[in-house]
Amino acid sequence: MRIYEFAKQNNLPTKDLIKILDEIGIKGKQTLSIITEEEINRFKEIYFKKEREKKEILLTGKENVKELSQKFGIPSNEILKYLLEEKIIVNINQKLEKDIIQKICEKFNFIPVFEKEEKEIQEEKKEKIETPILVKRAPVVTVMGHVDHGKTTILDKIRNSNVAEKEVGQITQKIGAYKVDLPEGSIVFLDTPGHEAFTAMRAMGAKITDIVVLVVAADEGVKPQTIEALDHAKSANVPIIVAINKIDKPNANPEKIKQQLSEYGLIPEEWGGNTVYVNVSGLTGEGINDLLEMILLVGEMLELKANINCKCEGTVIESYLDKFRGPVISIIVENGKLKVGDPFVVGNTWGKVRAIIDEWGKRLNEAGPSTPIEILGAHEIVIPGEKLKVVDSEKEAKEISENRKREKEISTVLPVKRLSLKDLYEEIKKGEIKELKIILKTDFYNSIDAIKNIISKIPQDEIKINIIHAGTGPINESDVLLASASNGIVLGFKVPIEPKAKELAKKENVEIRTYEIIYDIGDEIVKAIEGMLEPEIKEELIGQALVKKVFKLDKNTVVAGCLVVSGKVVRNSKVKIVRNGKIIFEGVLTSLKRFKDNVNEVNYNNECGIGVENFYDFEEGDIIQSFINVEVPRKLKGV
């Protein structure tokens, strides 16, 4: 190879390469000189080592492999090779995420110094100049609880009995939230009751709920979803007020509910705890005012503040496409004031506020903190939980949203890495995780206690094991959401996984493991903590044979004359015998013959004789499925 070619390969100007070669004792080279294999090795050994003594390097944090290669003076191939080893698959022109750049720097012995973008510097400056002016703001409340315990009724009652006179008769718009103004202060209620929406928002990184009202029907008491809601609220660290509803019913038993919930840590104030309980009836309205008062009181203690001396920021609570008005986005303003005409960025899109509409359908010129509003003027709809931010100009709004779109493209290639049992050991060693959060679902209530007991015996000096939610029944979407929002894993014992939950887990990269033997759960966690977890083995169907004739050689020797109808069948493989769509036997394929010869496998469309250990009842028409065990490959990191 000639020097100029070698220089090109290493992304070095020829002149520099010649100088370096000279320095390391390979003297007298010129552009067209040949560089020998030996010299190349010497160069690589000395030069890269020298280069790799930790060196600071100025980066933007948005480079692609090609740009990094130029800045590092290291061939792109080496970087790509390293990324591949780390199971990160990118192309050379694809912008990398900052933490991946950091990783690459570490590998190649660079200390990255990320330069701030002009815009960032300016923003920082501006933020410094604008001293925040904090004002008290209204609490935002989510109502949760078991289905049919009266969440919607309570929300409707609060809304309808607190309508100001001027608004009576006006039709309310469903904009995702509404505000109640009382003499002592205001409260914002989110319209979508339930913990799923709440946790979905949290999984997006949005935390708009300040207080959770947990509704429990006094006649029914604590139900599975009550506990689910309670755990979702707890894991978000949000104060909980318990509303004991349906107090008008003759069989209402509020004391029992207090007792039940005390077992879950919600100890009433009158029993020395700090949970507020209020008896209400969504139907008659009894106690509703007390509930509102308590919400204000708890809100008061939280000292909720908003900054009014900044550009408006808000969180999306709903969004839909209107045939006539275009994309409609509902937000709750968090800081600053939103005004008609403001250019804004929201999610990956942008716009200019064309109209601000309140829950009564009234057009406003501006809206301040803790106000739910609907705005027109966005270019696209967005997902609840996204942030809205006002910027200086439409040009800036467009630029930022285009940047975000690009970044999103990267992040779809590299989805968020969430915790898995497999990676637990590494994460503990790196000190990145100190707590393993588990969502546990089991078949019966007794199993929960048994599993909790097993887990409590696992030594927890290296990592704390925290079961943030335990319940019975199939693994559902809400379990996966909770795991996603809390960076936890879902463990199931003798329970199925709902298809939607499976889909969501795949999307959110949440690990679900299910078990049939109770002790396996503890064993696997221990192994995971010790980094000894064996790879998961999965059966894979490799072929099927149709039984065409049955040969009974003697009582204990029955051979099925078969035709391989798909894939291949393999001797000593695991088999399942299927009759009329049902598995009637599982065993091992112990004898496989083609004509007179024993063979190891028989391929598609060939006839063969099959014997299965301990199975003598073949019938014509049975299907013999042959399986092999495959190791489920380690999930590609970050892919």
Shorter beta-carbon distance to ligand GDP: residue 143 or 533: 143
Question: Out of 279, 281, 370, 625, which residue is the one contacting ligand GDP (CB under 6 A)?
Answer: 281
Shorter beta-carbon distance to ligand GDP: residue 90 or 233: 233
| Distance (Å, whole) CA 236 – CA 317 | 18
Residues 207, 198 contacting (CB under 8 angstroms): no
Query: What type of residue sits at position 198?
Result: F
Q: HEC states along 585-629?
A: EEEEEEEEEECCEECCEEECCCEEEEEECCCCCCCCCCEEEEEEE
Query: Which of 296, 200, 282 is CA-nearest to residue 247?
Result: 282
- Contact region with ligand GDP (CB under 6 A), list: 70-78, 233-241, 280-288, 536-544: 280-288
Chain CA centroid to CA 73, Å: 37
In angstroms, give the least distance from the CB of 470 to ligand GDP.
22
Shorter beta-carbon distance to ligand GDP: residue 242 or 329: 242
- Contact region with ligand GDP (CB under 6 A), list: 170-178, 279-287, 376-384, 437-445: 279-287
In angstroms, give the least distance from the CB of 153 to ligand GDP.
3
Shorter beta-carbon distance to ligand GDP: residue 88 or 154: 154
Residues 234, 264 contacting (CB under 8 angstroms): no
Question: Out of 5, 51, 167, 248, which residue is the one contacting ligand GDP (CB under 6 A)?
Answer: 248
| Distance (Å, whole) CA 254 – CA 219 | 8
Q: Kindly write out the interface string for residues 288-327 of this chain, putting x where it contacts ligand GDP by CB under 6 A and - elsewhere.
A: ----------------------------------------
In angstroms, give the least distance from the CB of 639 to ligand GDP.
40
Shorter beta-carbon distance to ligand GDP: residue 287 or 638: 287
Count of chain residues binding ligand GDP (CB under 6 A)? 16
Q: Which residues, 6 or more positions from 596, have their beta carbon under 8 angstroms from its beta carbon?
A: none
Shorter beta-carbon distance to ligand GDP: residue 152 or 307: 152
Question: Out of 182, 283, 400, 588, which residue is the one contacting ligand GDP (CB under 6 A)?
Answer: 283
Residues 159-198 that bind ligand GDP (CB under 6 A): 193
Kindly state the helix (H) or strand (E) to which residue 331 belongs, with its residue range.
Answer: strand 326-335
Q: Which residues, 6 or more positions from 540, have their beta carbon under 8 angstroms from its beta carbon?
A: 627, 628, 629, 630
| Distance (Å, whole) CA 54 – CA 68 | 16
Residues 142-161 that bind ligand GDP (CB under 6 A): 145, 147-153
Task: Answer yes or no whether residue 245 interacts with ligand GDP by CB under 6 A.
Answer: yes
Could you give the C-alpha distances from 577 to 26, 200, 574, in angstroms and in order? 71, 43, 10
| Distance (Å, whole) CA 96 – CA 410 | 7
Shorter beta-carbon distance to ligand GDP: residue 282 or 347: 282
Tokens representing 269 are 């104030």
Shorter beta-carbon distance to ligand GDP: residue 149 or 571: 149
Task: Answer yes or no whether residue 249 interacts with ligand GDP by CB under 6 A.
Answer: yes
Could you give the C-alpha distances from 514 to 122, 307, 378, 534, in angstroms and in order? 51, 47, 43, 15
In angstroms, give the least distance from the CB of 149 to ligand GDP.
5
Shorter beta-carbon distance to ligand GDP: residue 137 or 149: 149
- Residues of this chain that interact with ligand GDP (CB under 6 A) are 145, 147-153, 193, 245-246, 248-249, 281-283
